[in-house]
Amino acid sequence: MTFGMYSICFLVLLYLFHGSEEICPSMCLCVSDIVSCSSSGLTKLPQSLPSFSVTLDLSHNHFSWLGPGSFKKMSRLENLQMAHNQIRTLGYGVFHNASGLRHLDLSSNRLQVVEEHYFQGLWRLEELLLFNNKIAQVESGTLSGLSSLKKAYFSLNQITHFPFFSIRDHSHPFLTMLDLSSNRLNRLPWEDVKALPGLVQRGLYLHNNSLICDCSMYSVFWHWQLRNYDSMKDFTDEHTCTIYGDSHASIRFLLHNRFFHNCTVEKAVSEPVTVYLSAVSVSEGGKVHLDCETSLRGANLSFTWLSPSKGRITQASVNDTLINVFANGTLEIQGAKVNDSGLYVCTAVDIKQALNATREVNVTVVLPAQEAFNTGYTTLLGCAVTLILILMYLYLTPCRCSFCKQPKPAANPTAAYNPNALTSVFSPSMRDEHKIPTDKHVAFLEPMMTRPKQEII
Ligand SMILES: *[C@@H]1O[C@H](CO)[C@@H](O)[C@H](O)[C@H]1NC(C)=O
Ligand SMILES: *[C@@H]1O[C@H](CO)[C@@H](O)[C@H](O)[C@H]1NC(C)=O
Ligand SMILES: *[C@@H]1O[C@H](CO)[C@@H](O)[C@H](O)[C@H]1NC(C)=O
Ligand SMILES: *[C@@H]1O[C@H](CO)[C@@H](O)[C@H](O)[C@H]1NC(C)=O
Ligand SMILES: *[C@@H]1O[C@H](CO)[C@@H](O)[C@H](O)[C@H]1NC(C)=O
Ligand SMILES: *[C@@H]1O[C@H](CO)[C@@H](O)[C@H](O)[C@H]1NC(C)=O
Ligand SMILES: *[C@@H]1O[C@H](CO)[C@@H](O)[C@H](O)[C@H]1NC(C)=O
Ligand SMILES: *[C@@H]1O[C@H](CO)[C@@H](O)[C@H](O)[C@H]1NC(C)=O
Ligand SMILES: *[C@@H]1O[C@H](CO)[C@@H](O)[C@H](O)[C@H]1NC(C)=O
């Protein structure tokens, strides 16, 4: 063999192992910054997990707890999958030095108490999956400090008390999904629930609990139903409460509200109710429709748009041929100019019920020359080509040097091309979706399903 052949072979190995220190554990699969050790029968963490990993998949193993500083060397970790293990507790400081975590999946484990220290320091955490555990108690400080939290799933547990009071106007500004469905909540602190920020109330799922029917409960749901929240629309049947706490006397209170006829519900106050956000992109000179669909429904809505370049626009005020507001609130812009870019805010007002709702659309007018170039795709393509080249070097060149170890079977990069293996890493919840027998347990699995509309009696 020539010297050139040796050096190519050496370089290939160097590339595969990403530096001599960072060897992919034999039971794991390492591709780029993704390390997957799922379904490997692990009971404890592999000795040397590569410190460069951004995504670490440890789901479907046999972990029963995680010790302090488990991930302390993985400062780049953003995505940790630990679903389908037998984790009962987490030690103090488990996520010490892993404060970059944004997605944490501990679903389908055996957690019983969510202790205050569990998620300490995870101020970047956006998504927390704890559904299908045995959680009876969520300690009051658990969510404090999780200021980036967007979605938290606690469904299918045995929770009787939840620290609603710890979620306040500015504590969790991005929280839009709090799934507490299918638990054992019975008497909620309704004043705390009513004090939750509007976006949290909109994304709060409480169906299939053991709520006790009373007027303070009904009044909260009445308001949510009036605002047409998805939780009310999609789970009408599953909202039940029990009369006098008797589990046999359970009523579907969104369908049958006779029991609450003597309740007084406060008149809805006029306040901005919802903010829907969306973004559109239009080429210069093009036409764009911005709809003003909000939570408000009905024939008697009036719409006002606030445009960055033209100020307030209503149906009556339009005298510009290039701009129009339709009766359904849709704003039409013809011949869009770059100057028309910006945030458009529509306010829909229902005068009769004294409700208003807003919708925001971020409009970007692009010059036709500025083609959006999908760098993510090209990076992926480049990566695939590189890998194929490496494989060709490994298996097609007559490289028989004695010091060149064959890659271990589990780390064999060919496996990376198995699309099924990759799905579990890139879309972690797919596997769980199939495992869950009915589609109604977990609220967030719902929006994909289409179901016949419920008749409201
Ligand atoms: C962990 O973080 C501390 C500072 O909080 C730092 O001093 C230490 O070096 C880090 N340890 C590792 C292994 O990165
Ligand atoms: C409502 O009040 C009326 C009289 O005030 C009473 O007769 C009726 O039983 C009450 N209904 C319920 C469901 O409590
Ligand atoms: C909501 O509507 C009321 C009147 O119906 C109005 O005075 C108030 O300014 C509106 N709020 C917003 C944010 O548009
Ligand atoms: C709409 O409001 C007008 C008065 O503002 C009223 O006459 C009409 O009946 C209302 N229509 C509906 C469908 O509520
Ligand atoms: C609408 O017309 C009035 C006069 O009829 C004019 O003063 C105003 O500038 C016009 N507004 C726009 C946006 O063109
Ligand atoms: C509103 O009406 C306009 C014109 O009739 C139509 O083009 C648009 O699709 C409608 N928007 C919605 C959301 O229905
Ligand atoms: C955008 O607006 C500014 C001032 O408002 C103006 O000077 C500029 O010419 C406008 N540009 C275009 C492309 O219309
Ligand atoms: C609107 O979109 C542009 C480009 O996508 C972005 O730079 C800008 O920050 C967005 N504005 C808001 C208010 O979201
Ligand atoms: C309701 O919750 C129980 C557990 O509390 C669960 O077994 C059941 O499947 C749930 N039902 C629905 C319709 O989600």
Task: Count Cα atoms within 13 angstroms, Cβ side, for 434.
Answer: 5
- DSSP letter string, 3-49: HHHHHHHHHHHHHHHTSSS-PPPTTSEEETTEEE-TTS--SS--S--
Q: Are 153 and 442 in contact (CB under 8 A)?
A: yes
Give the pocket of ligand 5 (CB within 6 Å).
Answer: 319-320
**Rounded CA gap, 256 and 218, in Å?**
11
β partners of residue 333: 288, 323
Angle in degrees, CA 448, 450, 452, rounded to 5: 155
Q: Report the C-alpha dihedral over residues 304, 306, 311, 314, rounded to 10 degrees.
A: -20
Q: What is the pTM of this model?
A: 0.54
Domain ranges of the chain: 21-210, 274-367, 409-457
CA distances from 49 to 19, 76, 82, 122 (A): 13, 12, 15, 20
CA distances from 235 to 41, 42, 118 (A): 38, 38, 31
Helix (H, G, I), strand (E, B) or coil at 366: strand
First-to-final CA distance of the chain = 83
**Domain boundaries 21-210, corresponding CATH code:** 3.80.10.10
What separation in Å is there between the alpha carbon of 272 and the centre of ligand 3?
7
β partners of residue 306: 312, 345
Strands (E), 133-207: 137-138, 151-153, 177-179, 204-205
**Rounded CA gap, 242 and 234, in Å?**
21
Strands (E), 326-450: 331-333, 342-350, 355-366
Give the pocket of ligand 1 (CB within 6 Å).
Answer: 72-73, 75, 97
Contacts of 355 (CB under 8 A, 6+ apart): 226, 227, 268, 270, 273, 296, 349
Atom number in ligand 7 closest to CA 338: 13
**Rounded CA gap, 345 and 282, in Å?**
17
Per-residue pLDDT of the chain (457 residues; tens, 9 = 90+): 444 444 444 444 444 444 435 789 999 999 989 999 999 999 999 888 888 899 999 999 999 999 998 998 898 999 999 999 999 999 999 999 898 999 999 999 999 999 999 999 999 999 999 999 999 999 999 999 899 999 999 999 999 999 999 998 788 989 999 999 999 999 899 999 988 988 899 999 999 998 999 888 988 998 888 778 999 999 999 999 998 767 778 889 888 877 887 776 654 433 333 445 567 788 888 888 888 887 777 777 889 898 887 788 888 877 777 888 888 888 988 888 888 888 888 888 887 767 777 787 888 888 875 444 444 455 556 556 667 766 776 666 554 544 444 443 333 333 333 333 333 333 333 334 343 333 444 555 433 333 333 333 3
Give the residue whose CA is nearest to atom 6 of ligand 9. 182
Helical segments of 296-371, H only: none
Give the pocket of ligand 3 (CB within 6 Å).
Answer: 270, 272, 347, 349, 354, 356
CATH 2.60.40.790 assigned to 274-367: no
Q: Are 23 and 48 in contact (CB under 8 A)?
A: yes
Angle in degrees, CA 445, 451, 457, rounded to 5: 115
Give the residue whose CA is nearest to atom 4 of ligand 1. 97
Amino acid 427 reads S
Q: Are 445 and 436 in contact (CB under 8 A)?
A: yes
